[in-house]
Amino acid sequence: MTMDPLATITCIEDLRRLAQRRVPRMFYDYADSGSYTENTYHANEADFRAIKLRQRVAVNISNRSTGTHMLGQPVAMPVALAPVGLTGMQHADGEILAARAARDFGVPFTLSTMSICSIEDVAEGTGGHPFWFQLYVMRDREFAAALIERARAAGCSALVLTLDLQVMGQRHKDIKNGLSAPPKPTLRNLLNLATKPAWCKAMLATRRRSFGNILGHAKGVTDLSSLAAWTNQQFDPTLSWSDVEWIKNRWGGKLVLKGILDAEDAQLAVRSGADALVVSNHGGRQLDGAPSSISALPAIAEAVGPQIEVWMDGGIRSGQDVLKARALGARGTLIGRSFIYGLGAHGQAGVTRALQILQKELDISMAFCGHTQIDQVNRGILLPQSLRQLPG
Judge contact between 221 and 214, C-beta under 8 A: yes
Residues belonging to the active site: 282
What residues are designated binding site for FMN?
Answer: 83-85, 112, 134, 162, 258, 280, 313-317, 336-337
CA–CA separation, 183 vs 186, rounded Å?
A: 8
What residues are designated binding site for glyoxylate?
Answer: 30, 136, 171, 282, 285
Torsion of CA 32, 170, 111, 267, to 10 degrees: 110
φ, ψ dihedrals at 80, nearest 5°? -130, 155
The helix (run of H) or strand (run of E) holding residue 160 is strand 158-162
Amino acid residing at 79: V
Q: Which of 90, 84, 81, 91 is nearest to 112 (CA)?
A: 84
**CA atoms within a 13 Å half-sphere pointing along the CA-CB vector of 39:** 7
**DSSP output for 3-68:** PPTTTT--SHHHHHHHHHHHS-HHHHHHHS--STT-HHHHHHHHHHHH--B----S----S-B--E
SS3 (DSSP) at 217? coil
CA–CA separation, 82 vs 96, rounded Å?
A: 14
Question: What separation in angstroms does the CA of 287 have from each of 26, 47, 54, 311?
Answer: 21, 17, 33, 20
φ, ψ dihedrals at 276, nearest 5°? -155, 155
What residues are designated binding site?
Answer: 30, 83-85, 112, 134, 136, 162, 171, 258, 280, 282, 285, 313-317, 336-337
CA–CA separation, 309 vs 302, rounded Å?
A: 12
Angle at 305 between CA 264 and CA 157, to 5 degrees: 90
Question: What separation in angstroms does the CA of 244 have from each of 238, 251, 253?
Answer: 12, 10, 13
φ, ψ dihedrals at 8, nearest 5°? -95, 5
